Every structure is written in C-alpha cells, then in structure tokens.
Chain A
Amino acid sequence: MVKEQLAQSSTRKISIRLPYATQVRFFLLPYLVGTLILVVIPALATAVIAFTDYRAVGLPTFVGLANFRQLMGSALVRLSLRNSAFFLLLAVPLRILGALILALLLQHRQKFFGLYRAAVYVPSVIPEAAYALLWLWIFNPVYGPLNFFLGWLGLPTPAWLTEPTTARLAIVILSLFQIGEGFVVLLAGLQNIPRSFYESARVDGANSWQSFWHITLPLLSPWLMLLTFRDLIMSLQNTFTPSFIITYGGPYYATTFAPLLIYELAFDYFELGLAAALLILTYVLLGLIVVGIINIVGLGGSTDEA
C-alpha cells in the first residue's frame, strides 16, 4: 500500500530529482543554520568580546586582558567564583551519587517499579520558578516544614536562607531532587549490562558488593563520566533561577553565583565585555575541576575494564 502511494506521488512530482544522499543532507539544514545563528555565533562572539571594552552601544575596543585583571581585582567576583566552585563540588557528586543509588534500587523489573521510577522523575518536570518558590517556603525558618521536621527529630533548626553558610547549602539541597535525567541515563546504562556477567560472578562465589565493584561500576563508568561533565556545565547554569528568585544573591552575597553576576554585569550595567570575561573565567574554573576529576579518577575507568 505504502509502496503504491509512494510510486504514485513520485510520478506526479517534478522530474529533476537530487540523489537521495543529497536530499537527506538538506534535512540537516534547518537545524545547522538555527544552531549556527542562535548558539555557535553568539558563543564565539562572547569569547571575542571578553577581550574588549563593549557597552552594548558603539563599537567594541580591544583592551587585551584588562577585563580579566579588573575582575580578578574584585572581591565580589572572587567570591562568586568561590560560591560556584562550592556549589559544583558539593552538588554534582551528590546528584550523580543520588541518581546512581536510586537507579540501583529501582532497576528491578517488577510490578509497581515503573511507578516508583516515574515518581523519581516528577520533581524534574516542575517548572523552575514554581520549584524555587516551593523551596522558599520549605526553608522558612519559622513555619517551614523542613524545620518542623528537624525539630521533631531533635536536630538543630538553622535559619537557612538568612545565614550565608546555610543559604549556600540550601541551594545545593534543592538541586538534589531534580535528578531525573541522570537517573534515567543510569537506568539505561544498568539495563545494558548483560545478566550473564552477574551470573558467572555468582558462580565464582562473588557476593553482591563484589559484583557491584567489579562489574557494575566499571561498566557504568563511561556513563558516570559523561553525566558528571554534563552536570558540571548544566548545574552551574541552573543556579541562576533559584538564586534569582529565592535569595537574589544574598545574604551577604553568599548565593551570588557566577551566572547571576554575569546577568547583572550584562543586563543591569551593560558591561558586556566584563560579563563575557567573567563567563570565560567560569569556564576556566570548570576546566580546572574537570582536570582535577580526570587526575583523581583516571580516564573513564578504562583501566578497570581490561
């Protein structure tokens, strides 16, 4: 049937026809053009503008490394980079670990487990603005549910969003529940490990802890690596909305993360050159963290797989 339709319509069409390979190449065109205009060119322009003095009007003038010197001389900029590093080093490992534990616990193909897995994804679909407001209420020191709960357990009830240390921690905590993406990716990774590996390990007398260390973890490590890198980049960006809505950078700049400062420099002060330079500094920070991880873990655990 389909074939008939295809044959019919093809006779009606114009006779000049490009070869299939060329036609298929045109399918990529809208995506490539859109990405070039909306992503690649802006990203490259930002990298160039970091070395210029540019205030949105007029032409940018080249100033070399002056922007970077000015930024590094500012205590607020250094603080925002420290805050970002604190967030990344705490939130990203906890998010990956959380996603891994949940994936391991919920991987069974049993009745109801599909529903449990779906529930883990639910906080990840809550719109950011609503999610931020919700946590503003949960963290309320006087009548927020979190402090009632901590009080009931007999634990200390901190002032959360009004204390610099706990405010910074609060932004980390709220990020730990939106881990649906990593969870699903690791579930897929777990499903790809052949059952026979575990069976032969059991025959050899390995307990479940040993088979986790010697089978699951090495085979999952490429996924974990990929997730870690993506999470490092996305998490930094994802501090923007909570810090904008919940604390607007406060108290005492404790939640002023680099993206918020970039936003202020660019859209409040129109210092586009400085904003772009700060963006590059955050890349350097990310790069340092990535190099650190590679040094500690080794590349993708490829040595374990052998």
Chain B
Amino acid sequence: MRRKLIWMLRHGMGLGITAVFLLPIYWIFTASLRKTGLPPPNSIEWWPQSPTFNNYPFIFNLLPMTRYIRNSLIVVATAVPITVFIASIAGFGMSQEDDIWRRRLLIANIALLMIPGASVWLFRFQILRWLGWIDSLWALIAPAFAAGNPLFVLLFFWAYRRIPTEIYEAARLDGASAWLIWWKMARPLVQTTSVTVIVLSFVMYWSDFISPVLYVFRTDLYTLPIGLQLLKQLDPTNWPLLMAAAAVITLPVLLLFLFLQRSFLSGLSIANLLDQN
C-alpha cells in the first residue's frame, strides 16, 4: 500500500514536471493554429476553436521563408560536419598526449569555456572582414573552425579517454598511421558522443541569432532567426502568425532532439542516465 502511494507520488511529480516543461512547446503549436483576426481569447485557451493550418502558408507568402530556410540549412549542413570533425580529432589528439600536456590542454579548454561570447564580437568582425567573410554565410559557419565550443572538444576528450590505449597498440606495431587508428578504431567507439555533439552543434548553428545580427547585412543571406525577428517587426501583434513562424524554426531541432534524445542525453552524462530500468 505504502509502496504504491510512493510510486504514484513519484510519477505524479514526474508528470507534473513534464507538463510544465512541455508547456512552452505546446503553446507555440496551439497558438499557431488559431485563426488570424479572431478577437484575443479571454481565458487560457488550451485548444483553439476551429484550428487552421492557414497561418503556415501565409508566412511563406509574407516573407521569403524558403530562402531563409535554405540559408539556415546551408549553414547547418556545412558547420555541423566541420565542427564534429575538428572537435573529434582534437579530442582524440588530446587523449593521446602525455599526462603533462593533457593537463595543460584540459586547463586551457576550461579557461576557453569561461570566455564569454561578447568579448569576441568586436574583433571577430575585423578578422572576418580580413578573411572577406563579412556578408557571407561563412561568417555564420566560422565558429566551426574553432570546434564550435570548447565543450565539444572536452566531451570527445572524455569519451576517448575511457578507451584503453592498449587496443591501439597492435595496430601501431603494424605501422598504422594515427589517422587510420582514429578513423577505424577510436571513432566508432564514441558514437554516442558524436550524436551529442551533432545535436548540440545543430541547435547552436540553427538558433544562432547574434552572429547574423552582427555580421550579415545582405537581406538575401538572412537565416530563419532573423526572418522571425523581421516578421515580428512587420506584424508585431499577429500572434498566430508569429507562433507559426516560431513553430517552423523550432520543429527541426525538436524532431532531431526527440529522435536522438536517448544517445544525446547519455552521451552528455558520464553515467548512462537514460537507462530506464
């Protein structure tokens, strides 16, 4: 009896927390289905009367959404593979260093984690200008060449560290290059970490609002987050429309997260947290 009560309390609490944290997503989608031009609701509206999908085609007529989507996709499709590659080899390289260098690199990475983004805004602009990348999608892809975020390198480093180096020994004696050892032996063993970094970096580039605000001025190079901001300036009180646009930008990251959440969350944590038993 008492066990059952505890069981119910625990799951009741779990469901309550789930509801609160899913509410933002739920509201984005239900609000996007509301007919435009209806008077605003006078109580919490859990489901719109006569829901409609018409807001979605409408935003595509109002703004060049297809172009924004294409730009966002180009950035993500280029930046995510570069990020994963550079972070993965850097993490592997770090894990193969001797103790002294490993510690130095670890400290350097943690120090890098503590550099706030705002401190590089001003001069990254100058450097991107020298590279000729201002007003091109390369300005948005650029962080990929620094592995996106030092955290990604650290995640790979921790994953590679858990592989005992002895398993590379035989291949090394056979004269295999470090490159081949990484590609054929080490990389396949850290798949969950790769998935985690793919999800995190996808979210990072897809959501990036600051870089296009700072470095991209040509309207035909705008990405989805800027499109959303434009829509808000165009029609600031048309909530169904704004929420439909918000849904368009949220849906890809949400789907990616839902499909990969198991590997994603277990890759993020050292213990296998999503083990449900």
Within 8 A of B (CB), among A167-214: 177, 184-185, 187-188, 191-192
User: Cβ of B121 and Cβ of A262 under 8 Å apart?
Assistant: yes
User: Cβ of A34 and Cβ of B27 under 8 Å apart?
Assistant: no
> Distance in Å from the Cβ of A141 to the closest Cβ of chain B?
11
- Chain A residues, Cβ within 8 Å of B103: none
Closest B residue to A22 by beta carbon equals B178
- Contact mask for chain A residues 273-292; partner B; CB cutoff 8 A; 1 contact, 0 none: 00110010011000000000
- Contact mask for chain B residues 195-210; partner A; CB cutoff 8 A; 1 contact, 0 none: 0000100010011011
User: Cβ of A49 and Cβ of B276 under 8 Å apart?
Assistant: no
User: Cβ of A187 and Cβ of B273 under 8 Å apart?
Assistant: yes
- Chain B residues, Cβ within 8 Å of A185: 269
- Chain A residues, Cβ within 8 Å of B229: 129, 245
Closest A residue to B237 by beta carbon equals A140
Partner of A127, one of B44, B178, B185, B225: B225
- Chain B residues, Cβ within 8 Å of A114: 262, 265, 273-276
Among the stretches A69-77, A117-125, A155-163, A295-303, the one at the interface with B is A117-125
- Chain A residues, Cβ within 8 Å of B1: none
Closest B residue to A35 by beta carbon equals B146
User: Cβ of A191 and Cβ of B153 under 8 Å apart?
Assistant: no
Q: Is B105 engaged at the interface, CB distance under 8 Å to the other chain?
A: yes
Chain A: interface residue total (CB-CB under 8 A) = 98
Alpha-carbon distance between A7 and B171 when the two chains are bound, in angstroms: 8
Q: Is A267 engaged at the interface, CB distance under 8 Å to the other chain?
A: yes
Among the stretches B12-20, B47-55, B57-65, the one at the interface with A is B12-20
The binding surface of chain A is classed by DSSP as helix
Alpha-carbon distance between A111 and B14 when the two chains are bound, in angstroms: 11
- Contact mask for chain B residues 77-113; partner A; CB cutoff 8 A; 1 contact, 0 none: 0000000001101101110111000000100000011
> Distance in Å from the Cβ of A293 to the closest Cβ of chain B?
14
User: Cβ of B178 and Cβ of A20 under 8 Å apart?
Assistant: yes
Q: Is B242 engaged at the interface, CB distance under 8 Å to the other chain?
A: yes
- Chain B residues, Cβ within 8 Å of A131: 24
Alpha-carbon distance between A187 and B228 when the two chains are bound, in angstroms: 34
> Distance in Å from the Cβ of A29 to the closest Cβ of chain B?
8
Q: Is A142 engaged at the interface, CB distance under 8 Å to the other chain?
A: yes
Q: Is A59 engaged at the interface, CB distance under 8 Å to the other chain?
A: no
Alpha-carbon distance between A35 and B31 when the two chains are bound, in angstroms: 42
Partner of B119, one of A9, A46, A112: A46
Partner of A6, one of B22, B41, B184: B184
> Distance in Å from the Cβ of A287 to the closest Cβ of chain B?
11
- The answer to whether residues A111 and B27 also contact, given A46-B123, A102-B17 and a CB cut-off of 8 A, is no
Alpha-carbon distance between A13 and B178 when the two chains are bound, in angstroms: 13
User: Cβ of B185 and Cβ of A120 under 8 Å apart?
Assistant: no
User: Cβ of A116 and Cβ of B261 under 8 Å apart?
Assistant: no
- Interface size classification for chain B: 35 or more
How many A-B pairs have beta carbons closer than 8 Å: the answer is 300
User: Cβ of B250 and Cβ of A127 under 8 Å apart?
Assistant: yes
- Chain B residues, Cβ within 8 Å of A267: 214
Within 8 A of A (CB), among B225-277: 225-226, 228-229, 232, 239, 242-243, 245-247, 249-250, 253-254, 257-258, 261-262, 265, 268-271, 273-277
User: Cβ of B89 and Cβ of A27 under 8 Å apart?
Assistant: yes
- Chain B residues, Cβ within 8 Å of A244: 209, 213
- The answer to whether residues A25 and B93 also contact, given A39-B146, A105-B17, A118-B265 and a CB cut-off of 8 A, is yes
Q: Is A43 engaged at the interface, CB distance under 8 Å to the other chain?
A: yes
User: Cβ of A133 and Cβ of B232 under 8 Å apart?
Assistant: yes
User: Cβ of B93 and Cβ of A24 under 8 Å apart?
Assistant: yes
> Distance in Å from the Cβ of A191 to the closest Cβ of chain B?
4
- Chain B residues, Cβ within 8 Å of A39: 112, 115, 120, 146
- Chain B residues, Cβ within 8 Å of A27: 89-90, 92-93, 96, 178, 182
User: Cβ of B18 and Cβ of A13 under 8 Å apart?
Assistant: no
- Chain A residues, Cβ within 8 Å of B43: 148, 152
Alpha-carbon distance between A43 and B18 when the two chains are bound, in angstroms: 40
> Distance in Å from the Cβ of B169 to the closest Cβ of chain A?
10
- Chain A residues, Cβ within 8 Å of B124: 38, 42
- Chain A residues, Cβ within 8 Å of B96: 20-21, 24, 27
User: Cβ of A42 and Cβ of B276 under 8 Å apart?
Assistant: no
* Chain A residues at the B interface, C-beta cutoff of 8 Å: 2-3, 5-7, 9-11, 13, 17, 20-21, 23-28, 30-35, 37-39, 41-43, 45-46, 49, 102, 105-106, 108-123, 125-131, 133-134, 136-138, 142-143, 145, 148-149, 152, 177, 184-185, 187-188, 191-192, 229-230, 233-234, 236-237, 240-241, 244-245, 259, 262-263, 266-267, 272, 275-276, 279, 282-283
Pull 12 A–B residue pairs with CB atoms less than 8 Å apart, ordered by A: A20-B172, A42-B119, A45-B122, A46-B123, A113-B276, A114-B265, A128-B207, A133-B232, A143-B40, A184-B273, A192-B270, A266-B122
| New A-B pairs, 12, CB < 8 Å, besides A30-B145, A114-B265, A233-B115 | A6-B171, A6-B174, A13-B177, A24-B92, A38-B145, A114-B276, A116-B18, A117-B274, A127-B249, A237-B116, A241-B209, A283-B119
Q: Which 9 A-B pairs have the closest CB atoms?
A: A27-B93, A42-B123, A127-B207, A31-B90, A191-B271, A143-B40, A34-B145, A130-B246, A23-B178
